[in-house]
Structure 1
Amino acid sequence: MSGALVQALFDHHPHAVLVTDARGHVVAANRAAAGLLGDSTPPPALQHLADSPAWHGAVADGAAWSGTLPVRGADGAVRQMQVMSLPAPAGEPHRISLLHTGESPSHMADDRFRIIADSAPVLIWMSGTDGRFDWFNKPWLAHTGRTLTQLRGDGWLADVHPEDTERCVAIYRTSFDERQPFTMDYRLRRQDGQYRWVLDNGVPRFDGSGRFEGYVGSCVDIHERKELEERLAAHTQTMRLADRRQNEFLAMLSHQLRSPLAPISNAASVLRTIEEGHPTLVRLREIIDRQVGRLRRLVDDLVDVTRVMQGEITLVKGRVSVRDLLRSAVETSQPKLDAAGHTLRIDAPNTSLAVIGDSVRLAQALSNILSNAATFTPEPSVISLAAKVSGGSLHIAVRDEGQGITAEFLPFVFDLFARHDLQSGGNPGGLGLGLPLARRVAQLHGGDVKAYSEGAGHGSEFVLSLPLAPAEEPSTRGPVAAPTAPATPSYRVLLLEQNPDTRYLMRLQIELWGHQVAPAGAMDEALRIVDAFRPEVVVCDVEGPAVLGPAGLSPLKDRLGHAAVFVALSAYGHHQGEANARALGFDAVIEKPLRPDTLHRVVEAVHTSAVNG
């Protein structure tokens, strides 16, 4: 065979063929070998042969040798390849080595994976057993505009946003050490310099025998989703701020309304004591009482809603009879039902059922539902109130034949200030506070209020649900005689009030309750009369701190010591008013308006606390 023919067979052989000397140095390579190993001269494919004792033994014996060697290809990737080394004809110092391009099934799978990965619409990476990243698919290269060589190792971190780099490395290293999957998001720089948010999911990979081979991961672009999440978070923060400002506004509004309400109510109370024999005064006083009552209910609803929304409502829980609950709510709502010409039909269980809760708040919740039915039923009709037990819960349903609720509005019927007036040209009044308050009170008792309606003109039904109380153990004690109420004591009251009208009316009112009153418009005036009057109670409007002066209550406390109880009047909610009063040195706070029995109860409570303390 001619030398030219042998050279042609060598050059065109489909497998990579190398000619090496006895030391393993490559002296010739065919085209397949050059394409596989690159154009380096000589190709370093068999550089490890010289370190193989088995190969040295085969050379000494002039025998064939085969084995697996790590071979770095033209793409830079290292593959385990089958190598077969054959001895040359006798007298020839060279050996012929064949690199088997038919790889093992696992490596064939790797190649197929890389072909698929390069055509995938996501960014894919792989790392080796040393944790260093050694391969990225073509979409990753296109996204970053960098080469595989630039990305290998830790080179890919140059494209991660500096603020995210430390976190990413920590998550990867921790997961790698524990051989656990991970998910992380970070900003990856695009070839145009823009950082884009990506979501990276990495998992460990193992060969068929369970040997750890590194990690593989994929990244998807979540930039638009991340921006949407940030906008939603900002919107949520704005809504929370608006909600807090709304609650603060309601608290301030209720204070501003309640402050002038107190002297008006006091004036009506004084008129009641002098109206005998004066029909005109009686009529005027009744008008004032009715309008003050309406305004007070409005203010009370505002205060209650503010407390509920701020979590400041205090529940005095006890065993509440269902019959008593229904009776109390009906008594409160009856005037409004009568005024509208409605008939209330009640279906109550005969058994003695009870719930655990605040009797006043529960009656208020049910009364609000009844009042809502009366308000939104334009024509006189029958409103039903039915109580039944199901699944360990009490369900009180209020059904009306009024305007109904449209399907569009039904999900918002319990929203604060929500109104759904379908009457043409009608304005039934109200601020949309009753139903939200009723539902929140029910929820604070472990229950709820739900609304049902078949649409406009078909009426509506509201169901108040509450957990039933456990059955009460029968009592073996005999009847206990009711205690005799002690007579209300008379106090010497020092009244500190800056407003002359309010001061005059409050003085008349407190004196009509049987107390002695010394009024003062400022601290210096109070100090002039305190030694001679020796008050037992000092009453002051906490919203008018100017009346106290820069030293506050200190001058009076220095004179009186513990001989007097210092009481603040506040138009704010209980918690806020008490906090303000305590900060100013008061012993107790009374929420406006002042009522006949309130002063005595507060003073007695302070005295009892002092004795027990």
Structure 2
Amino acid sequence: MEFIIDAQSRDIFDNVFAFWGTLSSEGFVLNLDGQVFNRTVTDPKLLIGQKFSETVYWQASEHDSEILENSITEAAQGMKSKVLLDFRVSANEVINIELYLHPIADDKTIFFCAQEVTAREKEIEHYKERSEQLLFAAENADIGLWFWDLAEDNIFTTPKCNELFEVAPHDIFTFNSFLNIVHPEDISRVKTALNESQTHGKEYNAEYRVVYSDGNVHWIAARGRTYLDTEGNPKNMMGVVRRVTDKKIANEELSKVYDLEKKARSEAEEANRAKDFFLAVVSHELRSPLNAILGWVKILLNKKVDEKTQRNALETIEKSARTQAKLIDDLVDSARVASGKLSLELRPLNLYEIIKTVYNAQYPTAEAKNTTVNFSADKENIQVFGDSYRLQQIFSNLLSNALKFTADGGNIKIDMQTDSNSVKVAFQDDGQGISENSLPTIFQQFQQGENKTSPNQSGLGLGLSIVKILVAKHNGTVKAESAGIGHGSTFTVVLPLCGSEITTTNGNEEIKSANAKPLNGIKILVVEDDMDSREVLQLFLEQSGATVRSADSAHKAMNLLRESNGDLPNIIVSDLAMPDEDGYSLISRIRKLSAEKGGDIPAIALSAFASTENKQKALNVGFQKYHTKPFEPDGIVEDICRLVKQAN
């Protein structure tokens, strides 16, 4: 059958199709025409009667002839078909065509037409190549790609995406499948981010955790965009995901480091402020008693004063000097703590006697303030293993603090209670109290509760920090409690008991009661290079009944011993830090002498150096006792009496 069309229809066909024609049911060409043949060297009319699948046009591809033959067979059986084939226009040109075959039942023929799709196929190939490149880059960058068909709720994923979400290659991946792997705490946040993108057109940007089947948790960073249909409704979403666990962990660690650095910087700044304040307080605290001392001395030197005023002046000078000595002791102890050189001389002792001594020593201060101090204990024989001096320092600090912060007419209670393993000593007052904010730092250096930013409150803010350290060195604990400002405070020290009982005597009282001048008949050699210190010490010892000879150097002291002609001193009291030859060297030389020349004379070291190392060095070279300046009169008298008694 010849396929004949008019000129107008030919123009339409030429614009739409590359070629067209008819075939017999066996696939032989009945008719063939089209504008593509203007580019071929073969006249299409010469092909009429030939097997269409065997013509030269289908030799560009190995299988196209076979594909065409199968399609013709299907069309002969009444089925329409469409195939994509390569069509050889010439030896140098091959185009892509889409061939349509349509059976004509009445004539048992097949109508066919072909559209050239070369440009489209090249574009498809281009996009395919670009997609493969993009997929390769994404996979190598550990990035997964996903496409979500919102209408069908199907999420299409790349291999990397499958790995990140534990999706098998042929699994159907839906929104619920996705949510099943998201950490329960992050689901709400992810849903909100997706909804914002779909509803308001915002870019989808989220970080969330996924929980794998083995229990491991990883962080995922996702970005995407929503695409709309022609009516403006969300049609699909497309985006990328990548694992950011290591980055997240690193950021968290960096954040922790930053927070620690920020905290450390803040603490350092606070410490610097506290130290600046501390230096201001040191200046204030050292100058205040000096002002009183120098002022009264000037009055006593320049004016005649009555006996009552003179006594008041001397008492004020003594009080101010003791205040300065206490401040210096606190500074020295603080330096020892900072250098790790604070050591203790531990031995069994009766803590009851120590607290009683502290109570008696500070009773006059309480009486002057009209403050009631009640002292109670469940027993009077409470043995602990400790350093007597340091324990007195601990409880003196706590009692003086209670007196300082309790108003005149207030009440303080000291209570000692024991159990099978420990003793608890509580200092309770109804004074100023401590705020909730200050309690956590009350034992830190340079802190004075509510007064830590004002130098008006006396004290260096070192006492309680030293108390805490000394208590810890006794294997004990100390805590502060207060209901707040205006409600008083309680400081409680708990120390372990030791097993053995200790019998104590009050040596000072024995000495004092035995003789108003306890050093009567005792000959003392004083060695001190500082004239003022030497004169004060000599005068004090003489007023206590002693016969005193003095030397301003180690050399002169040795000469006095040589010239004694058997009239040796009963005891030597020597300074340590002297020019030319110090006290250590002096006593070492004396110990090398025979007993007849003074080699066995007991000796007391007197020094402004208060460290344990200096004390131990003095004892090692031959001193029997060690006293720090300013010396405690009763203490030095007691030691002189005991050492002379032991020597005799």
Q: TM-score scaled to structure 2, two decimals?
A: 0.45
Structure of greater Rg: 2
Which protein has greater RCO, CA pairs closer than 8 Å, 6+ apart?
A: 1
